[in-house]
């Protein structure tokens, strides 16, 4: 087995992506997660660039890291200066990181036109920087910026730059596809050329401007690279970097003969991916390979019928191997197999007539604008209604929402609900930050005494989507609500031309599902249902 070093630069290169901003605490938390999975290197930032990165290198020394080497990133010395008088060199040494990653120019164009130095001075800047840091007792990784463009422009000079770094003591030369424009076959060929030119191992650092960063990284490994740089979820400037989630999954599960991360680390990739998204306050990419919510989601009836017989028919790996899970979706494209797979939790998989009724209802409701893919709680209630086993915990009699704007611009929202529970008439009023919040508060107030367990439930997300935008303000809307209690997260849906009514329908489903779920916990047949939910 060939060990491939995985070098994460989410905390530096990833933060250069649009909309990405990590606090100091965020960076420390991500570092701990990466260490737990066995990442070989974590690049913490450029200590000269900002105070937060400088503080990171102070604080990270307090973490009990077991596997990961923390790297500080920097550049070659400035032109016309000596290393011992360069503030960048001082900042790197002050960071006290054992491993330093230095980026230098490979391209003659970048040396003469961007840095405005002679080709000889650029070589001196590379060699003197690496040698100075090595003499200070640091390990040095050399990042050859614009390597592929530089080699294609002037291969003799590009070769001299990486030889200068290796001869000065760099333990590894990393070839950077900085513009992200290289093709996999080019990457493979030039990795071999570089490996023949230096006596140290070769690494790869790819950007994703042609959506080939992962493919180029794998091509480099096949050509002999033993070190891959990238970011979690492919975060980074412009179109991002190589997504290390996909790189690691492919090397660990799809390719043969390679070893990555710590034992079992690959099985936690889904958790890691979602943790980074949430920490960075970014939306999860549903169709992200391996770890996305849709990566193992099946919607077409023919597909679901097949995976019910053999999961490998439409899945290239087991979802559990990367910590993900299989999902069966229901829509107007579904067949009976989809409904059967989701209705298993109700012990009704062999009732053909019931499955047909559920399918007909799904098709009819989706034609009205309903969508059950992210609203499985509403689907569960639909199955109960079609089976005749649904009994409402409360009867909805009426509701009213009043919104008032004061002369000072303040807005007050009040909701009134009238319900019946058994033979009791419940009539309550509550205020809220908006119509949905006020309705939620009024419902809770009315049901607090008969159903005290509702106190543990809270609304965590609310989305509105226009269904038929051609109708303008009279368009139908779909409201999706996510609710949560101490043990589960569930989604419900409501559709109407009135956004308040659509919200009311989704809210009521959420309350009903919570009550049914809590009852199921007490029943002897609850275990399978709760696991599925």
Convert the pLDDT of each residue in 266-275 to its tens digit. Answer: 999 999 999 9
Partner residues linked to 404 by β-bridges: 412
Q: Give the span between the Cα atoms of 98 and 100, in whole angstroms.
A: 7
Q: Classify residue 250 by its DSSP letter.
A: I
Residue 466's Cβ-side half-sphere holds a number of Cα atoms within 13 Å equal to 8
- CA separation for the pair 270, 30 (Å, rounded): 14
Structure tokens at 408: 């000072």
Q: 22-36, 47-61, 198-212, 309-323 — which is least confidently predicted? A: 309-323
| CA–CA distance, 394 with 249 (Å, rounded to integer) | 49
For residue 196, the SS3 value is helix
Question: How many CA atoms lie less than 13 Å away from 292 in the CB half-sphere?
Answer: 14
Helix, strand, coil percentages in the chain from 3-state DSSP, rounded to 5 = 45, 20, 30
pLDDT computed for residue 251 by the predictor: 98
Residue 173 near residue 202 (C-beta atoms within 8 A): yes
pLDDT at residue 531 in the model: 39
Across the range 312-316, mean pLDDT stands at 84
Average pLDDT, the chain: 90
| Residue 2 DSSP SS3 | strand
- 209 secondary structure, DSSP code: T
- Which residues fall within 8 angstroms of residue 177, CB to CB, at 6 or more apart? 147, 148, 187, 204, 205, 206, 207, 213, 216
pLDDT at 500: 93
Per-residue pLDDT reduced to its tens digit, 337-382: 566 666 655 555 567 788 788 888 887 887 788 887 678 889 889 9
Instruction: Tell me which residue has tokens 């996999």.
Output: 184
- For residue 152 the two structure tokens come to 């294609």
Note the pLDDT of residue 357.
Answer: 84
Under DSSP, is residue 245 helix (H, G, I), strand (E, B) or coil? helix
Residues 6+ apart with CB under 8 A from 106: 144, 145, 146, 147, 150, 151, 158, 161, 162, 176
Helix (H) or strand (E) holding 530: helix 526-532
Whether the Cβ atoms of residue 481 and residue 507 lie closer than 8 Å to each other = yes
| CA distance between the termini of the chain | 40
Share of the chain above pLDDT 70, in %: 90
User: CA–CA separation, 275 vs 269, rounded Å?
Assistant: 10
The DSSP call for residue 329 is: -
């Amino acid at each position: 087995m060939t060990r491939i070093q995985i070098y994460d630069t989410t905390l530096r290169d990833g933060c250069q992506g649009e909309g990405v901003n990590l606090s100091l605490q965020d960076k420390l938390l991500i570092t701990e997660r990466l260490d737990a999975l066995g990442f070989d290197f974590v690049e913490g930032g450029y200590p000269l660039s900002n105070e937060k990165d400088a503080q990171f290198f102070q604080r990270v020394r307090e973490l009990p890291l077991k596997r990961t080497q923390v790297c500080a990133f920097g550049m070659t010395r400035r032109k016309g200066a000596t290393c011992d008088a360069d503030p960048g060199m001082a900042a790197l040494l002050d960071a006290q990181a054992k491993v330093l990653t230095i980026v230098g120019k490979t391209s003659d164009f970048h040396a003469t036109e961007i840095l405005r130095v002679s080709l000889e001075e650029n070589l001196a800047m590379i060699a003197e920087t690496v040698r100075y840091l090595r003499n200070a007792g640091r390990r040095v990784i050399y990042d050859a910026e614009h390597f592929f463009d530089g080699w294609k422009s002037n291969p003799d000079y590009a070769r001299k730059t990486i030889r200068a770094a290796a001869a000065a003591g760099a333990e590894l030369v990393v070839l950077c596809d900085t513009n992200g424009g290289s093709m996999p076959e080019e990457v493979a060929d030039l990795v071999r050329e570089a490996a023949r030119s230096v006596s140290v191992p070769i690494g790869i650092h790819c950007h994703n401007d042609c959506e080939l960063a992962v493919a180029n990284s794998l091509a480099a490994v096949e050509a002999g690279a033993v070190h891959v740089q990238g970011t979690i979820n492919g975060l980074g400037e412009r179109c991002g970097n190589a997504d290390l989630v996909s790189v690691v999954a492919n090397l660990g599960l799809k390719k043969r003969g390679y070893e990555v991360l710590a034992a079992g680390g690959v099985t936690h990739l889904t958790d890691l991916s979602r943790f980074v998204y949430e920490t960075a306050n970014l939306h999860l990419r549903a169709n992200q390979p391996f770890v996305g919510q849709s990566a193992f989601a099946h919607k077409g009836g023919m597909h679901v019928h097949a995976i019910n017989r053999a999961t490998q028919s439409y899945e290239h790996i087991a979802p559990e191997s990367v910590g993900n899970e299989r999902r069966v979706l229901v829509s107007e494209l579904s067949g009976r197999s989809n409904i059967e797979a989701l209705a298993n939790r109700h012990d009704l998989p062999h009732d053909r007539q019931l499955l047909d009724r559920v399918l007909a209802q799904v098709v009819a409701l989706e034609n009205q604008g309903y969508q059950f893919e992210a609203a499985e709680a509403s689907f569960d209630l639909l199955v109960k209604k079609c089976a005749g086993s649904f009994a409402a915990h409360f009867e909805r009699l009426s509701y009213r929402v009043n919104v008032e704007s004061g002369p000072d611009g303040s807005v007050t929202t009040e909701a009134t609900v009238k319900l019946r529970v058994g033979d009791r008439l419940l009539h309550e009023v509550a205020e809220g930050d908006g119509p949905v919040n006020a309705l939620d508060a009024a419902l809770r107030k009315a049901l607090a005494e008969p159903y005290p367990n509702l106190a543990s439930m809270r609304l965590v997300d609310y989305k509105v989507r226009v269904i038929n935008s051609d109708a303008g303000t009279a368009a139908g809307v779909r409201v999706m609500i996510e609710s949560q209690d101490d043990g589960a997260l569930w989604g419900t849906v409501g559709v109407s031309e009135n956004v308040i009514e659509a919200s009311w329908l989704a809210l009521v489903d959420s309350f009903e599902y919570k009550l049914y779920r809590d009852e199921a916990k007490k029943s002897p047949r609850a275990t399978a249902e709760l696991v599925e939910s």
